[in-house]
Structure 1
Amino acid sequence: MQLHPVPGLPEIGPGDDLASLVAERVDLDSGILCLASTVVSKAEGRIAALDEFPAGPRAREIAARLEERTDEEKDPRFAQAVLEESTDLLMESPFLLTETRFGHICVNAGIDRSNTGGEDLLLLPKHPSESAARVSEALSVPVIVTDTCGRPFRHGQRGVAIGWAGTPASRDWRGESDRDGRELGVTVENVIDELAAAANLVAGEGDGGVPAVVVEDFEFGEMDGSDEHFRDVEDDYVRQALRGWSYE
């Protein structure tokens, strides 16, 4: 497997055709295209000003509580933006852990305040898998929309998939055998997260980052695939535990 950054992409703005911009720079007869959510959001006009989110009572309450706990000034308009981009608020302190409207659990609904193109906020794409499908159809290759976020029990951030099209999300090893001949009963490999993390190593971070990476010569294999990616609430025991937990 080889990964190559797509060179020379310009600053992306609302209405830009990502598929065409990528096709002008690389020959994509095959492979998988990994696109950073930042450029997808910019192309879809998901750039916003804080004033677009006048703070309601709950947002002001959340911001005040966070200020008290962290000793840092918090803008209640930002809290309002997080609330409007979320379907569930799993933690309110010492940070906001939310579920986005498309099922991704992350801090602050994934709202970015860097690389925003000069505006206050950059929101995640509304429907990242639909965004991936549009680019995938135009280029005739699978597409993964990636983001970076932290994970429990780990320091730092890594690349993860938040949308995909043209490839299964995971491959199911259950029923296969390990090296001792024992049947695997729970192993389901999240392929799109692994590819997103690999692409992030090539893409980089900060002002030197590249927002598009092509994965070549990856083979999914013959085993069963599925689109299971975001864990269901009924099977997410950590999430269930958080519902009865409060920060002290």
Structure 2
Amino acid sequence: MEVFVVPDLPEVRPGHDLAALIRERVDLRPDDVVCVASTVVSKAEGRSADLSAFPAGPRAREVAATLTEHAGEETDPRFVQAVLEESVEVLIQTPFLLTETRFGHVGVNAGIDRSNAPDGDLLLLPERPSESAERIRERLPADRVLVTDTCGRPFREGQRGVAIGWAGLAPGRDWRGETDRDGRELGVAVENVADELAAAANLLAGEGDGGTPVVVVRGFEWGDHGESDAHFREIETDVVRRAIRAWSNE
């Protein structure tokens, strides 16, 4: 398997055709997986915003005051308002805001970025990343597209690449029903291929000012395995979220 960046991409602005920018710079194959950072998807879709667009309500001011107290530095209540408006649930509100976005992703501050936002104070995540991935895929020779982001993970330090949108492939490779080397049947093994590919792409895309937000994975083979559409865990099976809810309500 080969992983390489798409070189020489310009600064993406609202209305830019990401698929055309990619096609102009790399000869894609049908089985390539094109991993596109959510930052450039958001820029192309005009998801930049100024803090002034989010006048703070009572809840945002209350949460901002609590965050300021815990963090020891001022938290802008307008930023908190933006996070609340981009979220369907607040799981944790101190010492940081952990929320669920409208499309099911759980992350800090609803994934809102305050860096790499040349057209405003904030860069919001794409509204529907899988639909964004599909629009890009329709205009590329490659059959598979991921929209990626970075976020932390419980119990581990550091950020890693994750998939927040996908088109042309299932997010999960389902090993259930297959057997291990001793002939035991696998009952719970669903591999999150979308996140694994996103993490591989993030090794090259990086976190800073490298200007390489699109990475191609070439030669990835699915193999003779089933598919799983599961990606964001349902609340019924999410014991961690249920525990957080119980803790937050104490």
TM-score computed with the length of structure 1 as normaliser: 0.98
Contact 2:91 2:248 in 1 (8 A): no
- Pairwise CA distance, 1:247: 10
1:11 aligns with 2:11: yes
Three-state SS of the structure 2 residue aligned to 1:156 is strand
Matches for 1:30-49 after TM superposition, within 5 Å: 30=30, 31-49=32-50
- Pairwise CA distance, 1:29: 2.2
- Pairwise CA distance, 1:181: 1.5
Residues 167-219 of structure 1 deviation map (CA, whole Å, 9 limit, x = unaligned): 11101111111122211111100000000000000112201241000110001
Matches for 1:98-109 after TM superposition, within 5 Å: 98-109=99-110
Q: Which is further off, 81-90 or 208-217?
A: 208-217
Runs of at least 5 residues in structure 1 that lack an aligned partner in the other structure: none
> What is the match of residue 156 of structure 1?
158
Percent identity of paired positions between Structure 1 and Structure 2: 69
Contact 1:9 1:21 in 2 (8 A): yes
TM-score computed with the length of structure 2 as normaliser: 0.97
Matches for 1:51-90 after TM superposition, within 5 Å: 51-90=52-91
Q: Distance in 1 between matches of 2:166 and 2:24?
A: 22
Contact 2:48 2:119 in 1 (8 A): no
> What is the match of residue 180 of structure 1?
182
Three-state SS of the structure 1 residue aligned to 2:19 is helix
> What is the match of residue 212 of structure 1?
214
Letter of the structure 1 residue corresponding to residue 101 of structure 2: T
- Pairwise CA distance, 1:74: 0.4
Three-state SS of the structure 2 residue aligned to 1:68 is helix
Which segments of structure 1 move beyond 4 Å, counting only runs of 4 or more?
none
- Pairwise CA distance, 1:246: 3.8
RMSD: 1.2
Residues 39-66 of structure 1 deviation map (CA, whole Å, 9 limit, x = unaligned): 0000000000000000000000000011
> What is the match of residue 128 of structure 1?
129
Matches for 1:183-198 after TM superposition, within 5 Å: 183-198=185-200
> What is the match of residue 146 of structure 2?
144
> What is the match of residue 110 of structure 1?
111
> What is the match of residue 91 of structure 1?
92
Q: Distance in 2 between matches of 1:75 and 1:29?
A: 46
Q: Distance in 1 between matches of 2:203 and 2:84?
A: 31
- Pairwise CA distance, 1:7: 0.2
Q: Distance in 2 between matches of 1:227 and 1:204?
A: 28
Q: Distance in 2 between matches of 1:123 and 1:191?
A: 25
Q: Distance in 2 between matches of 1:247 and 1:57?
A: 20
The total of aligned residue pairs comes to 248
Contact 2:9 2:211 in 1 (8 A): no
- Pairwise CA distance, 1:226: 2.0
Three-state SS of the structure 2 residue aligned to 1:83 is helix
